[in-house]
Amino acid sequence: MTHAPNSPEARDIAHHLHAYTDARRHQEIGPLVVERGEGIYVHDIHGRRYIEAMAGLWSVGVGFSEERLVEAAARQMRRLPFYHTFGHKSHGPVIDLAEKLVSIAPVPMSKAFFTNSGSEANDTVMKLLRYRSNALGEPQRKKFISRVRAYHGVTLASASLTGLPNNHRSFDLPIEGVLHTSSPHHWREATPGESEEAFATRCAEDLEAMILREGPETIAAFFGEPVMGAGGVVMPPATYWEKIQAVLNKYGILLVADEVICGFGRTGNMWGSTTFGMKPNVLVCSKQLSSSYLPISALMIDETVFEPIADESNRIGTLGHGFTAGGHPVAAAVALENIAIIEERGLVENVRGVGAHMQKRLRALVDHPLVGEVRGIGLIAAVEVVTDKAAKKALDPVGKLGGMIAGILQERGVVGRAMGDALAFCPPMIITERQVDDMVDILEASLEEAKRRLAV
């Protein structure tokens, strides 16, 4: 594709290395340059409007161009544009936000700690739990268990927790001490005729076998998303979290709930942990915390985690960890206003109602020859595309078919995301049933176009 000299696309190609992008392919085709957004829509620099079916990156919960968030940022910028939380310093927005998060946590929590992204938050959890193990006189308890297809971030440590091959290849990851147990994807991983409950039992048995093989006394924590996001919107099979938590409790291993995608209403409750009966010791959140208007993330810890860390910081004289912009006053003010909007406008309830409609519309596509599975809950879903339903396979290489259909979707006015051959849908939580219908109608037409191109 040829772009005019000095066009935004050409300048982007010349100067910008993109995240999650084939850099050579980008030199050929260039970017979609988004100029503005309102509600569930974004507009490119050529005036085309798109349904943002991924809420940006699973994250713009209250929609684009929400004036209350703009004003919250401006007010705080004028009052106190920056301050930090090092060395006993604080400020009003971070105090208010910490108090708010602890008050709405799905289980009793003690403290909130602020970072700038989900990756930083999960990285921080790993550091703090190593610190805690030393404080408890258990220096051998330093291993972490995640899952195949998990997504927990992209720093050296959090990318190691992530269980996706392309996040490890050529980065020399995962680092030592990070383990991956079974993926909980029933459709893909279950044996023929294996029920969800039986599959969940097998996943729990796999986890227990790993714990015993490594030594229970060496495992600090298990990291899990209530619903796996970037791994393909993988739903936990029936009884899964009940059985996994029974194993963790048996061996005294902490549970870390990664709510970066599920938190603040996405699954039809304020927290995915509530939806699936999880009782975490640590909870990580970001993305919809501020609807991604500004970078901010947080982790909450319960008393069993806080008390040893507090003792160790007292013994050493400081907790030697923190970020310049952690708990930034402008980001914290925006997050507080964002949570207020979610509560005042009943967006969690909207997720339940409109989410049920979205799930119904998407599931009606399951008989299409290119659809292998539809899965999801609330306003998060995936459509797994295949060319062979019986074998559950698509085109070679993996992701070719998903990428093709995502491209057709974008041509027709829906920005989505293909994760391998799973097409993800995670629109802003303000979406209406009529807008869902528009989105799914375009998806259906795109599937038909792909069918025509493939002659299947």
Q: What is the tens place of the pLDDT at every residue in 103-128?
A: 999 999 999 999 999 999 999 999 99
Q: Is the pLDDT of residue 437 over 90?
A: yes
> pTM value?
0.97
Indicate if 334 and 405 belong to the same structural domain: no
What beta strand segments (E) does 215-281 contain? 219-224, 254-258
**Residue 424, H or E segment:** strand 422-425
Determine, yes or no, domain membership for 4.
no
Indicate if 448 and 401 belong to the same structural domain: yes
- Average pLDDT for residues 19-33, to the nearest whole number? 97
Indicate if 39 and 147 belong to the same structural domain: no
> DSSP code of 109?
-
Q: Is the pLDDT of residue 379 over 80?
A: yes
d(C-alpha 338, C-alpha 39), whole Å: 14
Burial of 416-447, coded b for 16+ CB within 10 Å and e otherwise, reads bbbbbbbbbbbbbbbbeeebbebbbebbeebb
Q: What domain range includes position 428?
A: 32-62+346-454
Indicate if 328 and 351 belong to the same structural domain: no
pLDDT of residue 22: 96
Q: Is the pLDDT of residue 456 over 80?
A: no
Number of structural domains found in the chain: 2
pLDDT of residue 2: 86
305-318 tens-digit pLDDT: 999 999 999 999 99
Number of DSSP helices (H) and strands (E) in the chain, helices first: 16, 15
Phi, psi of 20 (to 5 degrees): 45, 50
Determine, yes or no, domain membership for 8.
no
- Average pLDDT for residues 400-417, to the nearest whole number? 97
Determine, yes or no, domain membership for 50.
yes
Q: Is the pLDDT of residue 455 over 90?
A: no
Asked which of 344, 371, 386 is the last residue of a domain, the reply is: 344
Asked which of 319, 344, 369 is the last residue of a domain, the reply is: 344
pLDDT of residue 359: 98
- Average pLDDT for residues 203-224, to the nearest whole number? 98
Note the Cα 146 to chain centre separation in Å: 14
Q: Is the pLDDT of residue 336 over 90?
A: yes
Query: CB under 8 Å to 48, separation ≥6 — which residues?
Result: 413
Indicate if 289 and 231 belong to the same structural domain: yes
Determine, yes or no, domain membership for 13.
no
pLDDT of residue 123: 98
160-208 tens-digit pLDDT: 999 999 999 999 999 999 999 999 999 999 999 999 999 999 999 999 9
Determine, yes or no, domain membership for 352.
yes
Asked which of 286, 312, 344 is the last residue of a domain, the reply is: 344
Determine, yes or no, domain membership for 19.
no
Indicate if 305 and 388 belong to the same structural domain: no
Share of the chain above pLDDT 90, in %: 99
Indicate if 400 and 420 belong to the same structural domain: yes
Indicate if 339 and 350 belong to the same structural domain: no
pLDDT of residue 374: 98
pLDDT of residue 385: 98
Indicate if 168 and 221 belong to the same structural domain: yes
Q: What CATH number should be reported for the domain holding residue 296?
A: 3.40.640.10
Q: What CATH number should be reported for the domain holding residue 47?
A: 3.90.1150.10
Determine, yes or no, domain membership for 161.
yes
Q: Is the pLDDT of residue 230 over 90?
A: yes
pLDDT, mean over the chain: 98
Indicate if 246 and 366 belong to the same structural domain: no
50-83 tens-digit pLDDT: 999 999 999 999 999 999 999 999 999 999 999 9
pLDDT of residue 125: 98
pLDDT of residue 234: 98
Determine, yes or no, domain membership for 230.
yes
Indicate if 323 and 380 belong to the same structural domain: no
Indicate if 340 and 350 belong to the same structural domain: no
**Residue 178, H or E segment:** strand 178-181
